[in-house]
Amino acid sequence: MRIQRTLPPTAAPVTLTDLVHGIVAICMGDRYLKRITTELRDFFRVKHLFLVSSGKAALTIILQSLISLSPRRKVLIPAYTCFSVPSAIVKATLTVSLCDIDPGTFDFKYDLLEHSLDDSILCVVPTHLLGLPSHVSRVKALARRNGAFVVEDAAQAMGGEQDGKPLGTLGDVGFLSLGRGKNISCGSGGIILTDSDSIAQAIERELATLSAPPLLHQLSNLLRLLATHVLIRPTLYWLPAGLSFLRLGETRFYTDFPIHRLGGVNAAVLSNWKQHLLESNRTRSAVAKDYEQRLHSTVSIIPPPSNNGSVYLRLPVILPNRQAKHTLCTLSKSQGLGISRMYPTAIHAIGSLRDKLGTQDYPGATLLADRLVTLPLHHLINAQDRERICSLIASVTSPATAPQGYAQPLPRYDAARYVDRAL
């Protein structure tokens, strides 16, 4: 453990005022729940909106609801995505099916997607990874031909738009996450969105079997948020970052997560959600543009911020090779710079899924697992932090000093394919 300025990889804005609202909600949680539900439904412009205990819970509930509407049992997802997605699929007693992705866009390889769709696919899950928009209308067109639903994963993209509609509302049903480190957070929470009456009715049947988490659990979440509010600051983050048992930033595949409705205490922490979302996304966009100006000749940023209004959660950067990624992340950790490895493997390489997914290769997903890092964009970093991060990247990727096996970055992203605007 080293005492030094240490940047968290990501940080959602949570204030003391938000925590006070959480305390007040111990006695009036239902009032907060109704208010936040109405505000979010109006913001997303959807007929039906449901608040649950996490993004994983939201996806699990959606999948359990779709089971009642179709006999199909496979869920087609990107081969590189958050481990929470296959975790929810397995928990819903469904089967994971994979499609490779284009490492230059983070979106499906559509020629492969078309051939992957058949009458066994219950739904396709296009994912706005790190806030970069998937081409949902294209996914829907392919899914419609095969009778599959489209479940839109906007867990990392709250506040973005495509085709004039909020991300999360483009599929048959969508979900977002309110977990730690997302665009906004209440510690743990999830949002389900749909305009489909039949899907909404199926979700309501699932929710009828669920309760809010116990009050003690909600208070424990509030205390964790208070600790995070204090320790997330770069002058103090070295302390939790140095405690390995906290498992900060660790990506795990597991299915024993709880599923509840959102508690009133958690909902109350979101009282200022709209202001936080606006400020958070503006800050991330501005910092992303600064990185792009500093790094444009060094590495591939996907997509370049100057060409696209993406609502970044963290900034994705493709490094020359696996060794460059290992070197950069090791040095970043020692210097407290908050550069993240993202997910440790592609989905097909998860140990407990490997036997079920067969031996097919997914080169695009594997490339990202080997070469993708993310840079922090949140409100706690300053210009000096960004200068140190960019200098470190330049030193690792320079052909004169790069690790053995240096390879050129990927071609730059074509942002003309997408329209994605901040608030």
pLDDT in tens, 250-284: 888 999 999 999 999 999 999 999 999 999 999 99
Rounded to a whole number, what is the distance in angstroms from the first to the last CA of the chain? Answer: 39
State how far the Cα of 140 lies from the Cα of 158, in Å rounded to an integer: 20
| Beta-strand relationship, 121-124 and 74-78 | parallel
pLDDT in tens, 19-77: 999 999 999 999 999 999 999 999 999 999 999 999 999 999 999 999 999 999 999 99
Domain membership flag for residue 371: yes
147 with 158: CB under 8 angstroms?
no
Q: Which letter, b or e, does each residue of 246-255 get, where b requires 16 or more Cβ atoms within 10 Å of its Cβ?
A: eeeeeeebee
Domain membership flag for residue 248: no
Whether residue 331 sits in one domain with residue 191: no
Q: Which of 177, 420, 82 lies closest to 284, judged by CA?
A: 420
pLDDT in tens, 195-221: 999 999 999 999 999 999 999 999 999
State how far the Cα of 74 lies from the Cα of 85, in Å rounded to an integer: 13
Question: Where does a domain end: 159, 180, 207?
Answer: 207
With bands split at pLDDT 50, 70 and 90, how would you rate the model's confidence at 418?
Answer: very low
Whether residue 285 sits in one domain with residue 184: no
All residues at 6 or more sequence positions from 134 whose CB lies less than 8 Å from its CB, including other chains: 106, 107, 108, 126, 127, 128, 152
Q: Which of 291, 319, 316 lies closest to 306, judged by CA?
A: 291
Whether residue 278 sits in one domain with residue 164: no
Whether residue 168 sits in one domain with residue 31: yes
Whether residue 176 sits in one domain with residue 89: yes
Question: Where does a domain end: 168, 185, 207?
Answer: 207
* pLDDT score, position 244: 84
Question: Where does a domain end: 157, 182, 207?
Answer: 207
Whether residue 284 sits in one domain with residue 182: no
372 with 318: CB under 8 angstroms?
yes
pLDDT in tens, 100-113: 999 999 999 999 99
- SS3 assignment, position 224: helix
Whether residue 310 sits in one domain with residue 194: no
Q: Is the pLDDT of residue 394 over 80?
A: yes
Q: Which of 48, 72, 262, 84 lies closest to 173, judged by CA?
A: 48
* pLDDT score, position 421: 28
With bands split at pLDDT 50, 70 and 90, how would you rate the model's confidence at 413?
Answer: very low
Dihedral sign for Cα atoms in the order 161, 198, 258, 39: positive
Whether residue 177 sits in one domain with residue 38: yes
Question: What is the total residue count of the chain?
Answer: 423
Sheet holding 315-318, edge to edge: 300-301, 315-318, 372-375
Q: Is the pLDDT of residue 406 over 70?
A: no
Backbone phi, psi, residue 349, to 5° = -95, 0
Arithmetic mean of pLDDT over the chain: 91
* pLDDT score, position 304: 55
Q: Is the pLDDT of residue 412 over 50?
A: no
* pLDDT score, position 248: 83
State how far the Cα of 308 lies from the Cα of 304, in Å rounded to an integer: 7
* pLDDT score, position 309: 45
State how far the Cα of 276 lies from the Cα of 185, in Å rounded to an integer: 9
Integer angstrom CA distances of residue 297 from 96, 185, 300: 39, 34, 8
Domain membership flag for residue 230: no
Integer angstrom CA distances of residue 133 from 24, 65, 108, 337, 346: 37, 25, 11, 27, 19
Give the residue-averaged pLDDT of 236-254: 88
State how far the Cα of 368 lies from the Cα of 318, in Å rounded to an integer: 8
Whether residue 278 sits in one domain with residue 199: no
* pLDDT score, position 306: 47
Domain membership flag for residue 80: yes
pTM summary value: 0.93
Domain membership flag for residue 227: no
> Which one is predicted more confidently, 166 or 308?
166
Number of H helices, E strands in the chain: 14, 12
* pLDDT score, position 414: 38
338 with 249: CB under 8 angstroms?
no
Q: Which letter, b or e, does each residue of 66-82 get, where b requires 16 or more Cβ atoms within 10 Å of its Cβ?
A: bbeeeebebbbbbbbbb
Total tally of structural domains belonging to the chain: 2
With bands split at pLDDT 50, 70 and 90, how would you rate the model's confidence at 301?
Answer: confident
pLDDT in tens, 351-361: 999 888 888 99
Q: What is the CATH number of the domain that holds 110?
A: 3.40.640.10
Q: In which domain, by residue range, is 393 found? A: 274-417
Residue 320 burial (CB count, 10 A): 21
Domain membership flag for residue 3: no
Q: Which of 221, 209, 314 lies closest to 265, judged by CA?
A: 221
Domain membership flag for residue 47: yes
Whether residue 326 sits in one domain with residue 191: no
Q: Is the pLDDT of residue 5 over 50?
A: yes
63 with 42: CB under 8 angstroms?
no
80 with 346: CB under 8 angstroms?
yes
pLDDT in tens, 74-103: 999 999 999 999 999 999 999 999 999 999
pLDDT in tens, 154-164: 999 999 998 88
- SS3 assignment, position 51: strand
Domain membership flag for residue 63: yes
Q: What is the CATH number of the domain that holds 334?
A: 3.90.1150.10
